[in-house]
Amino acid sequence: MVETIEALPETVEEQQTKSKQDLEPGYVVICWNDPVNLMDYVTHVFQKVFGWPRQKAEFHMRQVHEQGKSVLARESLEKAEHYVHQLQKYTLHATLERDA
């Protein structure tokens, strides 16, 4: 016969440490409407830069077209800058702002 001994769970105090990214303010990547780029092109760029499926890229393209802008991502400063540069490389009007 095997005897089972139950042990009480130990209470371990966990220290919560925040990563550098958690301590930095978040940044949003915004794409603005412009009279130059065609809607299909903007959809294509969103797919290429963010790796989004067509449906998500079209959703954000429509926001840009109908509302004048779309918030595409919330990221650390470094990642947000990367996305803005990628979008600008494709001639889209993109900026970043601190997340409120």
CATH class of the region 21-98:
alpha beta
What would the mean pLDDT of 75-91 be, rounded to a whole number?
97
State the pairing for strand pair 27-32/93-98.
Answer: antiparallel
Residue 15 clears pLDDT 80, i.e. is over it: no
pLDDT band at 40 (very low <50, low <70, confident <90, very high): very high
Task: Give the chain's length.
Answer: 100
Residue 49 has what pLDDT? 98
pLDDT band at 100 (very low <50, low <70, confident <90, very high): confident
Please give the model's pTM, rounded to 2 decimal places. Answer: 0.75
Domain ranges, ordered by start, for the chain:
21-98
Residue 82 has what pLDDT? 98
What is the edge-to-edge ordering of all strands in the sheet holding 69-75?
69-75, 27-32, 93-98
